[in-house]
């Protein structure tokens, strides 16, 4: 195997699990998340030589989120919720990961599933992936102002759906 291939394989081994978990939060279906990540990694493989020195993870995440939104536009607002997928996601998680324990609740997954696709992606990127507004705007191809407004609306909806979890999201401040 040549050095570029070895470098790509090392990247995939190191980041694939986290990429699938994030994609799962965005799309709500473990199998679709795996497909999204696989397609994004395939696109990355074709561009590895150019992207490897920049931000290969950002490249993959951008593709994942944009493809997820494109999928929602094509399929409609259909949110499958399969308990087997939930069990699979739980088995693959690290029990000591505080983010995984935050996500573990069915209430949170259901609340995320009720959000429009862009709002859901913004919340996942902001609070699960800990990305800045500028990074989120870049990943989703929207302006930072749109990121702010989508986050505001998503958090307001989440508060209505889960009033007991007002402080569950790290980094979330009090209402102004």
Q: pLDDT for 63-122, tens place per residue?
A: 998 888 888 777 665 544 443 344 334 444 444 555 565 555 667 778 888 888 889 889
For 25-47, what is each residue's pLDDT tens digit? Answer: 888 888 999 999 999 999 999 99
Residues 6+ apart with CB under 8 A from 11: 52, 56, 57
Flag whether pLDDT at 141 surpasses 70: yes
- What's the mean pLDDT when you consider all of the chain? 79
CB atoms within 10 A of CB 83: 8
Q: For residue 175, how many other CB atoms are within 10 A of its CB?
A: 9
Q: Which CATH class is domain 3-165?
A: mainly alpha
Q: If you search the block for the tokens 């990943």, which residue do you land on? A: 139
């Amino acid at each position: 195997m040549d050095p570029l291939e070895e470098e790509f394989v090392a990247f995939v081994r190191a980041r694939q699990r986290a990429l699938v978990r994030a994609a799962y939060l965005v799309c709500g279906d473990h199998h679709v998340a795996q497909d999204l990540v696989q397609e994004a990694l395939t696109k990355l493989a074709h561009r590895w030589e150019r992207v490897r020195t920049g931000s290969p993870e950002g490249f993959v995440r951008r593709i994942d989120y944009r493809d997820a939104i494109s999928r929602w536009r094509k399929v409609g607002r259909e949110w499958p919720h399969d308990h087997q997928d939930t069990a699979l996601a739980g088995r693959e998680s690290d029990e000591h990961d505080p983010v995984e324990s935050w996500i573990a609740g069915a209430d949170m997954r259901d609340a995320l599933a009720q959000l429009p696709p862009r709002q859901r992606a913004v919340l996942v990127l902001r609070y699960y992936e800990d990305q800045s507004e500028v990074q989120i705007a870049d990943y989703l191809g929207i302006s930072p102002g749109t990121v702010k407004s989508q986050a505001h609306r998503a958090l307001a909806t989440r508060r209505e759906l889960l009033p007991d979890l007002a402080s569950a999201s790290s980094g979330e401040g009090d209402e102004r």
